[in-house]
């Protein structure tokens, strides 16, 4: 008797999956953009490139926000555990914190739509390096550390407002969304396109769509299941059930 084929599981994760790790979300009731609308300028490419004061404030925010010290939580570990169980899993994340990889997901199975806050990139020559090294320079007194290769402006290797997503990464995410049998949208407001549209693409191609989010999303009506429970308890339960069914 042949074993049933295990479903390809795609998981789109947004800021809500990392709040239990101490990283605030952006658009929730206590989100960063609601508390301080001016903070959005710090991650807007035009402002960042054109205003040295914005860059100085951005470096201070990176120093103080603690994202690089954050640890994976139960939800991240549950996703990595599902992958280790033998179920094919691909993570498409809107987050830049790298916590899926720290929890044990192989980096090649994680698509970072918005880049990574764990690296810096030069806006002139494209040289990359660890964020920790750049922050050490800020700690040592460089308020706006330039690229050591060419003297250009350094920024976090994240996609700022006003920048395009990497078309290769987006194309891979689209392919996974079309091919998967189950699509989880976890901790995402599903308001930011084109990432949010991946949920609709998956549903249109026959995937079972499960939305796990504290607040309503524009895709709830398309979903086969909508879960409003806390992500840290809901996702381990849901993925545990999926792993058991796939055995």
Residue 205 annotated as catalytic: no
Give the closest residue to 128 by CA, choosing from 97, 104, 152: 152
Catalytic one of 76, 100, 114, 205? 114
What token pair was written down for 78? 């549950």
Asked if residue 217 lies in contact with residue 188, where contact means CB atoms within 8 angstroms, the answer is yes
Integer Cα distance of 9 and 7 in angstroms: 6
Burial class (CB in 10 A: 0-12, 13-18, 19+), 231: buried
Integer Cα distance of 129 and 126 in angstroms: 10
Integer Cα distance of 202 and 143 in angstroms: 44
Query: From the CB of residue 192, how many other CB atoms can be counted at a distance below 10 Å?
Result: 15
C-alpha distances in Å from residue 113, one per residue of 22, 64, 97, 120, 146? 21, 24, 12, 16, 25
Asked if residue 222 lies in contact with residue 203, where contact means CB atoms within 8 angstroms, the answer is yes
Integer Cα distance of 46 and 113 in angstroms: 20
Q: Which residues participate in catalysis according to the annotation?
A: 114
């Amino acid at each position: 008797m042949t074993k049933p084929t295990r479903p390809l599981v795609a998981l789109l994760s947004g800021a809500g999956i990392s709040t239990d790790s101490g990283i605030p979300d952006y658009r929730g009731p206590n989100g960063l953009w609601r508390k301080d609308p001016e903070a959005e300028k710090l991650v807007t490419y035009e402002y960042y490139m054109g205003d040295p004061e914005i860059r100085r404030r951005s470096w201070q925010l990176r120093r103080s926000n603690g994202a690089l010290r954050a640890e994976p939580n139960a939800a991240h570990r549950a996703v990595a555990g599902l992958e280790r169980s033998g179920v094919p899993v691909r993570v498409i994340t809107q987050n830049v914190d790298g916590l899926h990889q720290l929890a044990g997901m192989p980096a090649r199975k994680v698509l970072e739509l918005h880049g990574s806050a764990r690296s810096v990139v030069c806006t002139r020559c494209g040289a990359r390096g660890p964020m920790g090294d750049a922050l050490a320079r800020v700690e040592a007194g460089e308020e706006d550390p330039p690229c050591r290769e060419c003297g250009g402006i350094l920024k976090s290797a994240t996609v700022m407002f006003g920048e395009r997503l990497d078309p290769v990464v987006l194309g891979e995410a689209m392919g996974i969304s079309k091919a998967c049998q189950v699509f989880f949208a976890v901790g995402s407001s599903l308001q930011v396109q084109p990432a949010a549209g991946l949920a609709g693409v998956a549903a249109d191609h026959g995937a079972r769509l499960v939305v796990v989010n504290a607040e309503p999303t524009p895709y709830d009506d398309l979903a086969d299941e909508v879960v409003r429970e806390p992500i840290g308890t809901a996702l381990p339960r849901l993925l545990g059930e999926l792993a058991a069914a796939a055995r």
